[in-house]
């Protein structure tokens, strides 16, 4: 039997369908931008709800064509935060034929960890931190190489920080300083180990990898395991902050709907890398949608869980 997972995020809605062997047969990304204006108003915009419900209708058609009646559906920061979340949740559940589970930030972090640990089973005993930058929140998971040590979610993300700080195109130096200061204020809340590898998941991270590789079309395998050093990441951030949205859209590796918010997301990774004095960031396409798929496997079918990352 095929299994379907829908991840309803602040910027994107993702549909993953895996077969009985655990291989992806469908892996779709659409940009609903449910978090549009949410930071300022505390509410979902009517047009964002309409966009996202249309994506739900598309996903329902895709699932039906693959014989799936009831998907696993999760929602993250936008649904946790919006005062009018029921305006989207009720109609979306009716379209999808399944309840929407609004997961906590801690659960989101745990699913990101599960996805990463299953994606990189090659080396045991490696200490690292998983950082999952989304549209409205960022999750941080620390592992000692054998177990999950801590899982924390902060309300900073690519859409939120862009709307809050980056008003001009391209941003002004004052806006960039305010962006960095805001990120740094949030990071002071965390007690993270220094000098360890960062594993980066979700769309901002894979865009960093796609830009580094200069991809002309997205390749989930190619962007998984890409190693980015701090100087490389800082240079990429400077390039993005110095470019207009139109110039970013033309960059090989850029998904056009991410171009307006990508700098805010990359800035989070850059500040995390600097704060932790991390030697390298390794990107991973398999985020929380894969964590849900792995967690949904029958116990007898689960492969041993590793906590490993690529070496080198």
Report the 10 Å Cβ neighbour count for 47.
11
What is the per-residue pLDDT for 125?
80
Structure-block tokens of residue 73: 């559906």
SS3 29: strand
Residues 193-217 pLDDT 10s:
999 999 999 999 999 999 999 999 9
Report the 10 Å Cβ neighbour count for 91.
15
pLDDT greater than 90 at residue 144 = no
pLDDT greater than 60 at residue 308 = no
User: Which residue's structure tokens are 């997961």?
Assistant: 103
CATH code assigned to 105-289 = 3.30.420.150
What band does 304 get if pLDDT is binned at 50, 70 and 90? very low
Length of the chain: 312
Structure-block tokens of residue 128: 């690292």
Return the percentage of the chain with pLDDT > 90, whole number.
87
pLDDT greater than 70 at residue 154 = yes
Phi-psi region of 80 (alpha: psi -120 to 50; beta: other; left: phi over 0): alpha
The residue-averaged pLDDT of 250-256 equals 96
User: Which residue's structure tokens are 């865009």?
Assistant: 207
Has domain 3-102 been given CATH number 3.40.50.1000? no
Angle, helices 262-276/158-165, rounded to nearest 10 degrees: 100
Instruction: With beta carbons less than 8 A apart as the criterion, state whether 300 and 194 touch.
Output: no
Structure-block tokens of residue 183: 């990120």
What is the per-residue pLDDT for 132?
95
What is the per-residue pLDDT for 179?
98
* d(C-alpha 5, C-alpha 287), whole Å: 12
The residue-averaged pLDDT of 137-153 equals 90
What is the per-residue pLDDT for 302?
46
The residue-averaged pLDDT of 163-179 equals 97
pLDDT greater than 80 at residue 307 = no
pLDDT greater than 50 at residue 36 = yes
What band does 124 get if pLDDT is binned at 50, 70 and 90? low
Structure-block tokens of residue 127: 């200490």
Report the 10 Å Cβ neighbour count for 31.
19
Residue 282 CB partners (closer than 8 Å, separation 6+):
120, 197, 198, 199, 200, 225, 226, 227, 228, 309, 310
| Fold matches, 3-102 and 105-289 | yes
Average pLDDT of the chain, as a whole number: 92
Residues 257-300 pLDDT 10s:
999 999 999 999 999 999 999 999 999 999 999 999 999 876 54
What band does 96 get if pLDDT is binned at 50, 70 and 90? very high
Instruction: With beta carbons less than 8 A apart as the criterion, state whether 12 and 135 touch.
Output: yes
What is the per-residue pLDDT for 299?
56
**C-alpha distances in Å from residue 104, one per residue of 139, 155, 171, 292, 294:** 11, 12, 32, 14, 18
What band does 13 get if pLDDT is binned at 50, 70 and 90? very high
* d(C-alpha 15, C-alpha 294), whole Å: 15
* d(C-alpha 101, C-alpha 118), whole Å: 23
The residue-averaged pLDDT of 112-130 equals 84
pTM: 0.92
Instruction: Sketch the domain layout of the chain as residue ranges.
Output: 3-102, 105-289
The residue-averaged pLDDT of 101-118 equals 92
Residues 216-234 pLDDT 10s:
999 999 999 999 999 999 9
């Amino acid at each position: 039997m095929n299994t379907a997972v829908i991840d309803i995020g602040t910027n994107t809605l993702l549909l993953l369908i895996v077969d009985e062997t655990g291989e992806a047969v469908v892996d779709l990304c659409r940009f609903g931008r449910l978090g549009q204006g949410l930071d300022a108003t505390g509410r979902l915009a009517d047009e964002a709800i309409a966009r996202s419900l249309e994506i739900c209708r598309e996903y329902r058609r895709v699932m039906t064509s693959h014989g799936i009646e009831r998907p696993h559906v999760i929602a993250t920061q936008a649904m946790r935060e919006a005062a009018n979340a029921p305006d989207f949740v009720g109609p979306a559940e009716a379209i999808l034929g399944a309840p929407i589970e609004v997961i906590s930030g801690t659960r989101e972090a745990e699913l990101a960890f599960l996805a990463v640990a299953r994606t990189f089973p090659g080396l045991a005993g490696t200490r690292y931190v998983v950082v999952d930058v989304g549209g409205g929140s960022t999750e941080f998971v620390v592992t000692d190489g054998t177990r999950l040590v801590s899982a924390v979610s902060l309300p900073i993300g690519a859409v939120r920080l862009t709307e809050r700080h980056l008003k001009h195109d391209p941003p002004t130096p004052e806006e960039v300083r305010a962006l960095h200061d805001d990120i740094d204020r949030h990071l002071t809340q965390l007690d993270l180990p220094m000098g360890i590898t960062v594993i980066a998941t979700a769309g901002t991270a894979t865009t960093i990898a796609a830009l580094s590789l200069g991809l002309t079309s997205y390749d989930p395998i190619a962007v998984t395991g890409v190693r980015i050093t701090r100087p490389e990441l800082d240079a990429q951030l400077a390039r993005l902050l110095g470019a207009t949205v139109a110039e970013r859209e033309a960059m090989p590796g850029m998904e056009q709907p991410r171009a307006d918010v990508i700098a805010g997301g990359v800035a989070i990774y850059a500040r995390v890398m600097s704060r932790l004095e991390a030697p390298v960031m390794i990107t991973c396409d398999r985020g929380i949608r894969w964590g849900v798929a792995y967690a949904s496997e029958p116990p007898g079918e689960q492969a041993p869980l590793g906590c490993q990352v690529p070496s080198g």
